[in-house]
Structure 1
Amino acid sequence: MQSPKFQFLQQDLKDVFSASLMREEWKKRVRYQLRKQLVFDAIEYRDYNENLTRLIAQIQREVLSGEYIVRKPKRFLAEKSRGLCRQMTLVHPRDLLVLERLSRSIFFELKSKAPSKTAFFEPDDGNFVKGFQQIDHQYGSFASWKRFQKVVFGFAKENKYLVITDVANFYDFINFQHLRNIIASLANIREAVLDLLIHVLNRMTWTPDFMPLTQIGMPQIETSATRVLANAMLYEVDKVCEYSAISNYARFMDDMDIGVDTMAAAKAIVRDLDLTLQSRQLRLNSSKTRILSQAEAFDHFCIKENAELLGFAEVIEKGDQSQAIQNAVTSKYESWLDRKGKGEPGSQSPFKRDNGSKIHKFIFSLMHECGCSIPDGDLIWLIKNAPAMRSTALRYLAYSSNNNAAFAELNDFVLNSFFVDDASFVEITGYLLHGRFRRADKLIGQVRDFCRIASQRGGVGLHGAIFVASKFLPREELASMLMDNLGKISEDFWLCRAAAGVSPRFIHTPDYNKFHDIILKLESEDAYSVSNYFMALSDDSQLSPSLKAYLTASNDSYPQKLYFPKVLSLLAISKNKDAKKLLPQMHALHPALKSDPFFRQMGF
């Protein structure tokens, strides 16, 4: 029941949640954010896209009646270092749309009130980065991150001292009352809109063990919305730096770099920043706060190494992939690695510096672009020992010509409980789904072990296990996995969609009725939606132009030029009696469907 005053607030909510603005939000930003999430969707939420008008109308009804309820989010852990994990949050697509719309409604006004022109964060622009480029930042647009980096490199050349710092556990300690006050002071935002924003954020925070809401802790979501709000929390820091006696200042979210000419000035600005943050119950990260001399700053930012890599990049971008450039890049990599043992960087390696992972990723991308092979042993060492490099290493390992041997080593890590987080299992899932493997009983046994362990690691692990089983294991084992985990799957939005997402393995086979009974037992509208989507692909006599464009496009950033959700859709179409008419060039466009023994086993 709403209070009598709610009727006077509805117009403000109508303005923010108009159908045209919500449609624009979905098309330009939300679909992109969903694609970036670590946990993929079998049909990439195309059912939501096709029913967008109905989704928008439903959200409008619930918001304008005051009955909007945030769906249960999913949590997963991503290791930062030494077992310390960042807690990440997956939110329902409709909640992501609401959150993005609320954030976007105040973004431009917040941006206009920014005290500093050198606070470089901007939300993602919704454009995919082309190719296999490794982006070494976690949030915001790539362009804004590059501008930040360029400015900071200049500080190291201009100033005698450089302060580098960030905020300790920034997202975890954001207080929503402080956030509300800051936003209200900066933007002309109506109370009803601000109330809904804080309400949604509160329902997405982690509140375990029946504990009460704390009004503290911004959920870490793969979305621009929360980052736009968190960025505004640091405007007071920007103001302090702009009015202090410092030479240079740059900030990208909570990473701050300040150029000064004396040690006294450096210590004073650290003091003032920390006191400013304390007024909002935040603190500087003492372990990462450093005052560097000019020479130390050059080493810290790997300025010499970056300059060398930029030189290689310019040559490669002009199309030079000659043996000479391959030899030069490989030689530089080996020199910097200062190899110790099997892939371990030696004591003199610049890869071991604070910013070493950035040039490590940069040189990997150059080696890949010019056709050099990255040694499997080096990548496996990083997967085991460097959590910050794990995702990158797994992506490049998928290009290996000896993935059977590589996975045998990775599976030993899994069996020995080496990975303490959930993200590692998801990233290994991606490696298995997109790399090419030789069909061998030993490999299938190792995959079976991985699926068994992953399915016991919570919802995110089971999600990956379902799709890995759909590629590597017999239908009977896949159906048994679903049946054994029916209760867990039925309670989880993402798992329901994953279970239905393997429908193409069963369509037009003797096992379809058994599989269909499993889907019915889930009693999930989303499971029915995904299952019906694939069934339509296997039965319809024509494809929409947008779907045909999606299915014929090559995914060049993957080793076999195919994103696994697309494989599932192509498998459903291959079982259509009109398949040759619908996609006559399917196998010519995607030769991996036949050349990969496990794709072939799926039914191609």
Structure 2
Amino acid sequence: MEQRSQKNYARFMDDIDAGVDTIEDAKKLLRDTDLVLQSRSLRLNAGKTRILTAKEAYSHFRVRDNRFLEQLEARLLAMTSAGESIEAKIKKVSHVFEELYKRGYFKVGNGEKIVKRLIGIYNRFSARIPDILFEYFMSLHPNLRDSALRNVGICGVRKVDFDRIKAVFERGLVCDDYFRLILAKRLVEAKIEYDGTEAGSLKAILTYFPKDDFCSVYAAIWILSRFGLAKTIFKFLEETEFVWTNDESLSRLVAGMWPRLRENKEEFPKYYIYLGERLLPSGVELLEFHKELEGEAVKYKRIKSVIGAKNDSVPLKCTHEKMLVLQSVLRSAEIAEGDKAKLTKTHSYIMSEKSYSAGGVI
């Protein structure tokens, strides 16, 4: 590859783009690459392999669009650095974005990658993509769902967003478990705009997570670990016991929910016995880790620097995983009140979030 293209190539994962001077060189490059792949029991994907002229490549790789996005991002950054409002600029970009999408502008070449990059710019500046585009991406573009879900998670998931997510299931547009896993990840890290309807929305979505399927159970448990009340979580664990008691990764996930189960002061001793009798070894180890955090300052000191740091890259400024550990730490009578106060102040944003402060919403 380096020899044929004179190092004029780029590779990301299983995608390779290379530039050569002639059609003949391009054919030789494809031949040699395919031969190397065959020696490793692989083949080029003929349906995705193309030889382009320089003009076609310029269009396919969206060179002009990428330059525009670079300029747009730089302009928005300059405006925010100067304390200027970017609302009007974002509104104008959104109008153009929506119109170009409706005209099918992003259907050819690397159009989808341009959309992902543009959504990334919206995310960087905490700007919401147009509602109609979120609906289109959820319904028509499985490859864009993750980017779109991250955007609404940053800006705040509303009832209308929950409804559009639910519609994806209702219309039979989920063909594998990947969407459930991505949805769980994005909902658990998201800001939620609470209006009293979120519990019903979450319950409705969870009905589309089969209780006899590994990935669905994994995703549902993760969602419940943030939004579920202790009784709701325990009921789900009982209903799916035959799934999670036979897998180490699920066992650890269940054990990690202990801080949420612990919030039921009357029932938690029963929960502890239940988990202790059913968790696999790695799950028992994690359960005991949380129990020790509740009673030993030594355990806390080992993770103090990690748990005391913010996570500015996620919407709530603290990961859900860290928040679960933090809940165990704050229950400890052995940890200095000053340390607890500092942790509470550092993570005040996530701790004031309703699903945590109220011990769950469903």
User: Could you say whether these structures have the same fold, taking a TM-score greater than 0.5 normalized by the shorter chain as the test?
Assistant: yes
What is residue 354 of structure 2 aligned with on the other side? 597
What is residue 513 of structure 1 aligned with on the other side? 269
How many angstroms does 1:517 deviate by? Answer: 2.4
Distance 1:503 1:541 in 2: 19
Alignment counterpart, residue 57 of structure 2, candidates 297, 317, 330: 297
**Greater shift in the superposed pair: 283-292 or 314-323:** 314-323
**Greater shift in the superposed pair: 321-330 or 362-371:** 321-330
What is residue 28 of structure 1 aligned with on the other side? none
Distance 2:283 2:28 in 1: 58
Distance 2:68 2:248 in 1: 48
1:181-201 deviation per Cα after TM superposition (whole angstroms, max 9, x unaligned):
xxxxxxxxxxxxxxxxxxxxx
What is residue 575 of structure 1 aligned with on the other side? 331
CA RMSD of aligned residues (A): 2.8
Retained in 2: the 8 A contact 1:554–1:590? Answer: yes
What is residue 389 of structure 1 aligned with on the other side? 144
Distance 1:523 1:515 in 2: 12
What is residue 313 of structure 1 aligned with on the other side? 73
1:540 matched to 2:300? The reply is: no
Partner amino acid, structure 1, of 2:342: Q
What is residue 358 of structure 1 aligned with on the other side? 113
Distance 1:366 1:438 in 2: 22
1:503 matched to 2:258? The reply is: yes
What is residue 489 of structure 1 aligned with on the other side? 244
1:331 matched to 2:92? The reply is: yes
Task: State the aligned residue count.
Answer: 356
1:39-81 deviation per Cα after TM superposition (whole angstroms, max 9, x unaligned):
xxxxxxxxxxxxxxxxxxxxxxxxxxxxxxxxxxxxxxxxxxx
How many angstroms does 1:326 deviate by? Answer: 5.3
Distance 2:276 2:92 in 1: 58
Distance 2:17 2:156 in 1: 42
Retained in 2: the 8 A contact 1:506–1:515? Answer: yes
Unaligned runs of 5+ in 1: 1-237, 340-344
1:250 matched to 2:46? The reply is: no
Aligned residue runs from structure 1 range 447-466, under 5 A? 447-456=202-211, 458-466=213-221
How many angstroms does 1:287 deviate by? Answer: 0.9
1:84-108 deviation per Cα after TM superposition (whole angstroms, max 9, x unaligned):
xxxxxxxxxxxxxxxxxxxxxxxxx
**Which structure dedicates a bigger proportion of its chain to helix?**
2
With over 3 angstroms needed to count, the CA separation of the structure-2 counterparts of 1:372 and 1:323, relative to structure 1, is farther
How many angstroms does 1:499 deviate by? Answer: 1.1
Aligned residue runs from structure 1 range 373-452, under 5 A? 373-439=128-194, 442-452=197-207
What is residue 44 of structure 2 aligned with on the other side? 284
**Greater shift in the superposed pair: 426-435 or 578-587:** 578-587
How many angstroms does 1:600 deviate by? Answer: 1.0
Retained in 2: the 8 A contact 1:403–1:436? Answer: no
Distance 1:466 1:445 in 2: 17
How many angstroms does 1:453 deviate by? Answer: 2.9
SS of aligned partner of 1:257: strand
Partner amino acid, structure 2, of 1:436: K
Partner amino acid, structure 2, of 1:485: T
How many angstroms does 1:531 deviate by? Answer: 0.9
1:465-495 deviation per Cα after TM superposition (whole angstroms, max 9, x unaligned):
1132233233222111111222211110111
Retained in 2: the 8 A contact 1:321–1:371? Answer: no
Question: Could you tell me the TM-score, scaled by structure 2's length?
Answer: 0.86
Unaligned runs of 5+ in 2: none
How many angstroms does 1:503 deviate by? Answer: 0.6
Distance 1:381 1:424 in 2: 15
How many angstroms does 1:568 deviate by? Answer: 0.9
Distance 2:305 2:203 in 1: 35
Question: Could you tell me the TM-score, scaled by structure 1's length?
Answer: 0.54
Alignment counterpart, residue 480 of structure 1, candidates 220, 235, 241: 235
With over 3 angstroms needed to count, the CA separation of the structure-2 counterparts of 1:413 and 1:499, relative to structure 1, is same
Distance 2:196 2:96 in 1: 40
Distance 1:448 1:466 in 2: 13
Retained in 2: the 8 A contact 1:301–1:355? Answer: yes
SS of aligned partner of 2:314: coil
How many angstroms does 1:581 deviate by? Answer: 3.8
With over 3 angstroms needed to count, the CA separation of the structure-2 counterparts of 1:547 and 1:493, relative to structure 1, is same
Distance 1:471 1:276 in 2: 48
1:309-363 deviation per Cα after TM superposition (whole angstroms, max 9, x unaligned):
2223344555636557554455345424425xxxxx22352x3232123222222
SS of aligned partner of 2:17: strand
- Identity, in percent, stands at 23
Higher RCO, Cα 8 Å, sep 6+: 1
How many angstroms does 1:297 deviate by? Answer: 0.7
Distance 1:402 1:302 in 2: 31
